[in-house]
Structure 1
Amino acid sequence: MTFLDENFWSNRYNFGQTGWDIGYPSPPIVQFLDQIEKKEVEILIPGAGNGYEALYAFKNGFKNVNILDFASEPLRKFKSKVSDFPDSNIHHEDFFQHNRNYDLILEQTFFCALEPSLRPKYVEKMIELLKPGGKLVGVLFNRIFDKAGPPFGGSQEEYQALFESKFQEVSFSQCYNSIPERMGAELFFQTKKSDV
């Protein structure tokens, strides 16, 4: 079984083995969304899980929010909680097979769930999914974990090299509004695809 196996992730949800799930939207993502005035932007949240960030965005006027997950269970639960969320914006599929384009992709605990060997492929796929000038924004762990993943950690130096190979603009800053358990261990990052 690999970490990209749907059964692996569905079982984690079914048995409550969801340590990454904080039960509410990630504060750094919330703060970023609160600064966006153009509510019509098309947003994708891959590996959305229970979709707290998607729900926050949707309830705050972003109507073009899309969620994607390999596991069907969290998507089913999300739809039962947010009945007015468009079915066409819920994607039960492999991220690497997804084929639409977005202005903004939000990263929240998806990158760290992938086997590190897939990180270059992740960056390539993000470039493919973003419209010209589109942004990939979110939170990454800035630490190495003692136990085998997921989650898989990393460092700013590693991420910088990875994203700068494809993106026009890449910036990292230490998260000052992480949840207490992750304080000092998260980076907020923003990248931009070329306008052409």
Structure 2
Amino acid sequence: MKEFWDERFKQTEYIYGQEPNTFLKSQLVKFTKGKILFPLEGEGRNACFAASLGFIVDAFDFSEAGKHKALELATRKNLAINYSISKAEDYDFGTEIYDYIVLIYAHLNPSIRPKIHQKIVNALKPNGRVIIEAFHPKQLKNNYTSGGPKSLDMLYTTKLLKNDFSDLNILLAEEIETELNEGNYHKGKAFVSRFIGQK
């Protein structure tokens, strides 16, 4: 899997574009600045956007090629992000460190997903929020061609997210058809789950 992502991120283009995810952008501009973590951040578009707003940004991914492009993007924009190389299951999320943790298409294998999501809850400060946009099972069932895992058990319903984040107060949980325009790999109609929970 690491080889797959390294190969994909080695392309000259930013495969998901250089602009932030639209849903995330709509939320971050409303939030009070604080410390924010981007797990599985890839090429850095969302982390760089948060940094441009004045957030203190940590990010990680297991792809060296992803990190290289993220830091390149940050340098070009004159921004500071702290980017680590790690698998999700090996990352030290810590306890009550972050005001926000953002999972944008950070689809985890079901064998580790509940444990990682619990670590995310623990890593949030009191009143901290998790912000998620992920592909819904209808992405596969309806044969959308705008990206995402090709395995149903890697896709997220709001019911699954409510269950994984049952310790949080739900601020938003919706399943919605949307139009993606995020580089060449997230383009066209998509069916996604969106979730915001607060500690």
Aligned residue-pair number = 181
Change (3 A) 1:184 1:81: closer
Partner residue of 1:187 out of 188, 193, 196: 193
- Decide whether the 8 Å contact of 1:160 with 1:170 is kept in 2: no
Could you say which structure has the higher strand fraction?
2
- Amino acid of the structure 2 residue aligned with 1:31: S
* Partner residue in 1 for 2:86: 93
* Partner residue in 1 for 2:160: 158
Q: SS where residue 154 of structure 2 aligns?
A: coil
Q: SS where residue 103 of structure 1 aligns?
A: strand
- Amino acid of the structure 2 residue aligned with 1:125: K
Change (3 A) 1:184 1:109: closer
* Partner residue in 1 for 2:66: 74
* Partner residue in 2 for 1:142: 136
* Partner residue in 2 for 1:32: 27
Structure 2 gap segments, 5+ residues each: 142-148, 182-186
Q: SS where residue 190 of structure 1 aligns?
A: strand
The CA deviation string for residues 113-140 of structure 1, in whole angstroms up to 9 with x for no partner, is: x212222112211122212221111212
Structure 1 gap segments, 5+ residues each: none
- Amino acid of the structure 2 residue aligned with 1:121: K
* Partner residue in 2 for 1:123: 117
**TM-score normalised by length of structure 1:** 0.77
Q: SS where residue 41 of structure 2 aligns?
A: coil
Mapped partners of 2:88, 2:109: distance in 1: 14
The CA deviation string for residues 112-171 of structure 1, in whole angstroms up to 9 with x for no partner, is: 2x212222112211122212221111212222426744992232223222222x324363
Structure 2 residue 41 is the aligned partner of structure 1 residue 48:
yes
Moved runs in structure 1, 4+ residues, more than 3 A? 84-87, 146-151, 168-171, 174-178, 180-184
